[in-house]
C-alpha cells in the first residue's frame, strides 16, 4: 500500500516512521489534510474507519469555529461517520465552540455516526463539567481505546439515540 503525502515538509517525519516500522500495516494513521487559520489548526488523519481531527489552538467565535463546522459537515456529507476530536492542544473553548461540538455531535448522531472526544485538557474538562456536556460525549484519554470503542457497535443496526441528541441540545444553552 503506497502513501501519498500532501505536504512535502512531512516527508522526513514519514521517513522516520517508515524506518521504525517493519511492515506498512504498522503505520496506524496518516495525515490526510491540515487546515490552518488564525486561532485553530485542524489536522485530519485516519486510523482504519475512524477520522481523527487533531485540533490545536482555540475553538471560539471566528474563522476557526467556521472551519471546524465546515470540516465536520464535509466529513458527514462524504459518509464519514466515526470521528474522533483530539483536544489535547486546545487551550480555550468558548460558548460558540461548545455549540459547534454539540452541532457536530447531533449531525453525526442523525447520520448514524458518532463523535467522540480525546485527551481533554484540565481547562476544557472543567468547562465540560460545568456545562454537563461530559454526560453527553464519550471522552477518552487513550487514542487506541477511543478508536477501539467505535468498532464495538454495528452501525447498520443501531437505532438513532434521539435522547442523546436531545440531551446535547438541552445542555447547549449557556
Q: Are strands 139-140 and 114-118 parallel, antiparallel or unpaired?
A: parallel
Q: Is 79 exposed, middle or buried (0-12, 13-18, 19+ CB in 10 A)?
A: exposed
pLDDT value, residue 74:
95
pLDDT value, residue 7:
41
Domain span holding position 34: 28-151+159-171
pLDDT value, residue 89:
96
Question: End-to-end distance of the chain based on CA atoms, in angstroms?
Answer: 47
Residue 50 lies in a domain: yes
> Of 50, 56, 4, nearest to 29 (Cα)?
50
CATH code, domain carrying 139: 3.30.750.24
Residue 68 lies in a domain: yes
Residue 145 lies in a domain: yes
Residue 23 lies in a domain: no
pLDDT value, residue 62:
87
For helices 63-77 and 95-110, give the axis angle rounded to 10 degrees.
0
Contact 118, 84 (CB under 8 A): yes
Q: Which grid coordinates are listed for 138?
A: 464519550
Residue 35 lies in a domain: yes
Residue 7 lies in a domain: no
Give the whole-angstrom CA distance, residue 98 versus residue 128.
9
Q: Is 161 exposed, middle or buried (0-12, 13-18, 19+ CB in 10 A)?
A: exposed
Residue 15 lies in a domain: no
pTM above 0.85, yes or no: no
Residue 18 lies in a domain: no
pLDDT value, residue 19:
38
pLDDT in tens, the chain (174 residues): 333 334 444 444 334 333 333 333 333 555 665 555 468 999 999 999 999 999 999 999 988 889 999 999 999 999 999 999 999 999 999 999 999 999 999 999 999 999 999 999 999 999 999 999 999 999 999 999 999 999 655 444 344 456 655 665 565 544
Number of domains forming the structure of the chain: 1
How far is the CA of 139 from the CAs of 64, 67, 75, 128, 143, in angstroms? 22, 22, 20, 10, 10
pLDDT value, residue 159:
43
Amino acid at each position: 500500500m503506497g502513501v501519498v503525502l500532501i505536504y512535502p515538509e512531512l516527508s522526513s517525519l514519514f521517513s522516520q516512521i517508515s524506518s521504525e516500522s517493519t511492515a506498512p500495516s504498522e503505520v496506524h494513521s496518516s495525515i490526510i489534510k491540515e487546515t490552518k487559520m488564525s486561532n485553530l489548526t485542524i489536522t485530519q488523519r485516519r486510523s482504519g474507519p475512524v477520522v481523527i481531527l487533531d485540533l490545536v489552538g482555540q475553538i471560539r467565535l471566528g474563522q476557526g469555529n467556521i472551519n471546524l463546522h465546515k470540516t465536520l459537515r464535509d466529513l458527514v456529507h462524504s459518509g464519514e461517520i466515526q470521528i474522533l476530536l483530539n483536544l489535547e492542544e486546545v487551550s480555550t473553548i468558548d460558548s460558540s465552540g461548545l455549540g459547534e461540538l454539540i452541532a457536530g455531535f447531533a449531525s453525526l448522531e442523525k447520520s448514524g455516526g458518532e463523535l467522540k472526544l480525546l485527551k481533554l485538557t484540565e481547562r476544557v474538562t472543567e468547562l465540560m463539567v460545568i456545562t454537563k456536556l461530559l454526560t453527553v460525549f464519550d471522552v477518552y484519554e487513550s487514542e487506541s481505546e477511543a478508536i477501539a470503542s467505535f468498532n464495538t457497535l454495528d452501525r447498520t443496526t443501531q437505532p438513532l439515540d434521539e435522547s442523546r441528541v436531545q440531551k446535547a441540545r438541552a445542555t447547549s444553552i449557556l
